[in-house]
Chain A
Amino acid sequence: METNINHSNAHTSHDDQGHHEHQELKFWQKYIFSVDHKVIGIQYAITALLFLLLGFALMGYMRYQLAYPDTAAPYGFGKALTALVGQEMAPDGKMSGALYNSFGAMHGTIMVFLAIVPLAVGAFGNFVVPLQVGAGDMAFPKLNAASYWTYLPGGVIMLISFFVPGGAAKSGWTSYAPLSVISDHGPAFHPIMNGQTLWLIGMTVLIFSSLLGSVNMIVTIVQLRAKGLTWMRLPYFVWAQFVTAFLLLLAFPPLQAAGVMQLMDRIAGTSFFMPTGLVVNGQIWDHSGGGSPLLWQHLFWFLAHPEVYVLILPALGIVAEVVSNNTRKPIWGYKSMVYATLFLGVVSFTVWAHHMYLTGMGTKVSSFFQTTTIIISIPSVIILSCLVISLYGGSIRFNTPMLFAVAFMPMFGLGGLTGIPLAFNATNIVLHDTYYVIGHFHYIVAPGTIFAMFAGIYYWYPKATGRKMSEFLGKLHFWPSLILMNGIFMPMFFQGLAGVHRRWHTGGVVNGEALFEVTKHALHWNSFMSWSAWLLAVAQIPFIINFFWAWKRGEKVGDNPWEATTLEWNTPTPPPHGNFLKEPIVYRGPYEYSVPGEDKDFTPSWEEPKKSKTDLVNL
């Protein structure tokens, strides 16, 4: 670390000494209210993984309802459901329509805002980025802790909302007005302790947390890069986090504004999103009117489309790191990947209304958004192509992180390609709100992003704990997961093309008869997909065992077990508070693998060049 930054300040050395005294911290200071980015990263990781499991559990119940409509789940699962959410929402273990809606909305909310984003940005961003840029910590350590400690209450508020009268929010994760404003509203409900209002409050808190995190991330990357670590020497993962942080910083506030307005609609009786003359249950809604439901959609999707790239960019970053490390060669087209990512970040702010083709948008606007949406597929294809080409000619080590990273590519590709028919407004009209859409974005997020997250966990676990996770259990985790993921999501395309609607809470069947003749032949997939989902849950058991077992019992490893080149492997393992023993200096690009003429197949970026001094430090 640079210590000579302030000559006039005699207290710098004083603080240093103070710090050494602080080494003897109490347990709760060290592991609970820590300001160390690594501890906060691990806190984020564990919390987010728990939420991931919860979101999955909600889906497990929903899939039961879809496969075996209006029957109680066996083996006590149905009873447990009733015990948790009450007889009204789950009569005799059966899932009511309201509970199905509620679980659907909360599955989306939890997965996006409480699981994947905190895992990708909060956990990996926090843990890895300062290490990779050679910083001692994030730029604002206290702010970093504050970000976690606002994220957690946000999650707790969302959890509480399951147990209030009427249950959790049930207007979809998109929370479209006016449906969301009129739900759980009226004298029978508490003005604040009801599902939708708590959802809005929870979201406001979460957005605040993400704001703190993203400011911190950008400042860390801009200001705390090690000596010699120029922009084009940054690992691609850092670039991905950098653009992600900008997306979070600039896309979230409009939703914050929209959330506050919807909160006003629900609590203060305003009409921001409530049109004139709205009739609910045969009665004119008591409001002044004049609001615009489409305004909510604009503000929501202005966030939620960039949010898609928030979900995917860190995943691409992790895959790039793992692929380069395990093919033992530089990633192909590093610069084009970086520029593609920057371009992707900018354009992602101009595509949001492709979620709104069915709102009566005119041809001009539809064409505009159709065009930008197709344009944004270009940088995604560039990045994915670079990753695939990187595999070519490498002597690949198929360890667990690499398996997940390699599987990510076709899965993400499938998700991306099936998105193109949704980008065109003509085909979108047919596919909108069917299972096709669900299949499309789940291919990107589930076997896509989540696989990349697993790759990241297996890859950086040795750095965080000093021990490797078991390869055998890892493979036992990977192969069933890959097959079962496809078992869940591939049939969604078949169903969607047949016209199965995404919100039928009995899976398109009523009293044993298909709801619509046209979808009849596609409904038998329901139970197949459900069984795949439950078996996928079973397939996660090796991972959970592995995760905790390896913490104490895993194979001990050195500082650089993967023989990697980026800066995070230049620290002691696990890294102490302050990370680096001496100030790291970077001499070369991030992926110098198999450099001809070198004695080993990796040249760490921190190793002083032996032969020439020509490409020495240029800050």
Chain B
Amino acid sequence: MASTENPEQIKQIVKQHWVIAGLLFTLILISIGIAQIPFVTWAHMAIGLGISFVMASLVLWFFMHLSNERKLIYQVMVFSVIFSIVLVALSLLAYFDHSGYNVKY
């Protein structure tokens, strides 16, 4: 967003950051609260990571202003996210699908 903003917009951006920071604060409190409730592990995992993904999206979208960024940037980030998911998913697939004998890797 180089050199395109007028002072009014800049003030707007700063204000927006405060709002997002407040939201992040609330979300982190919620995730700490939920962690104290005795759920089963997978439910904790799902909720905890879910909240993290929401928070990460907020940071990416507003703090790192992906909301008003170019296609090229999206492409780069989409590739890196896809490849890291590929890394995790295929390694896990290999972990759970092993031939015959039941060993801990």
Contacts and interface: CB of A to CB of B under 8 A. Distances in A.
User: Is chain B in direct contact with chain A in the complex (CB below 8 A)?
Assistant: yes
A364 interface: yes
A356 B98 CA distance: 12
B105 A293 contact: yes
B87 interface: yes
A362 B87 contact: no
A251 B83 CA distance: 9
A468 B104 CA distance: 61
A360 B103 CA distance: 10
Contacts of A222: 72
A46 B16 CA distance: 53
A349 B83 contact: yes
B79 A302 contact: no
Contacts of B80: 250
Interface string A238-253: 0000000010001100
Interface string A270-309: 0000011000000000000000111100110010000000
Contacts of B19: none
Nearest to A346: B79
Interface string A513-543: 0000000000000000000000000000000
A551 to B, nearest CB: 40
Nearest to A218: B76
Contacts of A356: 94
Nearest to A345: B79
Q: Which secondary structure characterizes the binding site on chain B?
A: helix
Interface in B58-104: 72, 79-80, 83, 86-87, 90-91, 93-95, 97-101, 103-104
A350 interface: yes
Contacts of B100: 360
Contacts, number: 54
Interface string B40-61: 0000000000000000000000
Contacts of B103: 360
B87 A254 contact: yes
Q: Chain B: interface residue count, which band?
A: 10 to 19
A349 B80 CA distance: 11
A362 B105 CA distance: 13
Contact of B97 (A246, A299, A361): A361
A368 interface: yes
A81 B11 CA distance: 70
Given A254-B87, A349-B86, A361 B94 contact: yes
Given A250-B80, A250-B83, A295 B91 contact: yes
A353 B94 contact: yes
Contacts of B87: 254, 298-299, 302, 349
B104 A365 contact: no
Contacts of A362: 94, 97-99
Interface string A336-362: 000000000010011001001000111
Contacts of B95: 294
A95 B79 CA distance: 47
B90 to A, nearest CB: 7
A246 B104 contact: no
A23 interface: no
Interface of A: 222, 246, 250-251, 254, 275-276, 292-295, 298-299, 302, 346, 349-350, 353, 356, 360-365, 368
10 contacts: A246-B79, A250-B83, A294-B94, A298-B87, A298-B94, A349-B87, A353-B90, A360-B99, A361-B97, A362-B94
